[in-house]
């Protein structure tokens, strides 16, 4: 029983060591994540293994109330933060962009701006709205 435990522990430690050793061999080095919720705008940067490097919401960049939902204002401030982060650790590493509830015009704006600054390898979109087949509830008429 002890021998099996130590073998599994040795295997885990050796694979963790390999993960650190070959960190440059990953296809993607960092993930840049944009989330547009109903009441907030969120921005994260994490590395390929899932460790969080930076995390900002609209409230942390001095936006309050309805300003949090003003996407253009929040995005310009996020781009300023990202230009500072690029000099620190994003330099020429391949990056994946993840979008959650980001509409088409904002998505194209983000991709256009970040394409100039970063090496984008993958773009993924996670939309919570139904694409087809789910019908929205009928709106009530105001009298």
Q: What is the pLDDT of residues 70-107, one digit of tens each?
A: 788 888 888 888 887 766 777 778 889 999 988 878 88
- Classified by CATH at the fold level, domain 28-126 comes out as Nucleotidyltransferase; domain 5 (3.30.420)
Bridge-based pairing state of the strands 30-36 and 94-100: parallel
Identify the band that residue 25 occupies on the pLDDT scale cut at 50, 70 and 90: low
Supply φ then ψ for residue 53, to 5 degrees. Answer: -100, -45
What's the pLDDT tens digit per position in 36-77?
Answer: 888 888 888 888 888 888 888 888 887 888 877 778 888 888
Q: Could you tell me which residues come within 8 angstroms of residue 132 by beta carbon, excluding any fewer than 6 positions away?
A: none
Q: Which two tokens stand for residue 40?
A: 């907030």
Mean pLDDT, rounded, of the chain: 77
CB 92 within 8 A of CB 57: no
pLDDT at 18: 45
Which of 17-21, 94-98, 119-123 shows the lowest mean pLDDT across its residues?
A: 17-21
The residue ranges of every structural domain in the chain are 28-126
Question: DSSP per residue over 53-112, as a string?
Answer: EEEEEGGGGT--GGGGG-HHHHHHHHHHHHHHHIIIIITT-EEEEEEES--HHHHHHHHH
């Amino acid at each position: 029983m002890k021998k099996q435990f130590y073998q599994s522990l040795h295997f885990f430690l050796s694979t963790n060591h390999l993960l650190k050793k070959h960190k440059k061999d990953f296809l993607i080095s960092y993930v840049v994540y944009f989330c547009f919720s109903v009441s907030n705008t969120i921005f994260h940067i994490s590395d390929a293994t899932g460790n969080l490097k930076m995390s900002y919401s609209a409230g942390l960049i001095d936006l309050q109330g309805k300003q949090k939902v003003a996407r253009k204002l929040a995005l310009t401030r996020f781009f300023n933060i990202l230009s500072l982060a690029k000099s620190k650790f994003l330099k020429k590493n391949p990056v994946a962009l993840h979008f959650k509830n980001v509409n088409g015009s904002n998505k194209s704006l983000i991709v256009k701006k970040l394409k100039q600054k970063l090496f984008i390898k993958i773009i993924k979109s996670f939309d919570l709205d139904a694409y087809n087949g789910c019908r929205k509830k009928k709106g009530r008429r105001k009298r």
